[in-house]
Amino acid sequence: MDNERNAVINIGGMEFELILTTRATKEIARRYGGLENLGDKLLKSENFEMALDEIVWLITLLANQSILVHNLKNKDNPKEILKEEDVELLTSPLELASYKSAITEAMFKGTKRNIESEEEASKNVEVG
């Protein structure tokens, strides 16, 4: 997998790559109205259970992207898709909280732009 756009987490002793693909972005947009609304939704969840549900859904979605890519490239050796119930059984709420940074990292890597703004470019010009 391309390390430029993934983050790795451990669920039940197994490593999963979290990847923000175009497909995952569309699913997130469908659920939240866009990537920009995701942080607000996670931070402003009305209750703890709802916040856990959202994190479990996101982890499952992002972890399954690497599995789906693997299955696409290895049709003769597919891996089983991760289910939300699996994530709930194999994690503790404390672990889920720690996965937030991995989710953020995957999101950042998936949307990262290597474009220098004109303002930054002008600051880097040597004067004199």
The pLDDT tens digits for 19-28 are 989 999 999 9
| Count of domains observed in the chain | 1
Residue 56 counted as domain residue: yes
User: Residue 25 and residue 34: Cα distance in Å, rounded?
Assistant: 8
Chain segment 56-100, per-residue pLDDT in tens: 999 999 999 999 999 999 999 999 999 999 999 999 988 887 887
CA distance 65 to 71: 10
In a domain, 128, yes or no: no
Q: Is residue 8 part of a domain?
A: yes
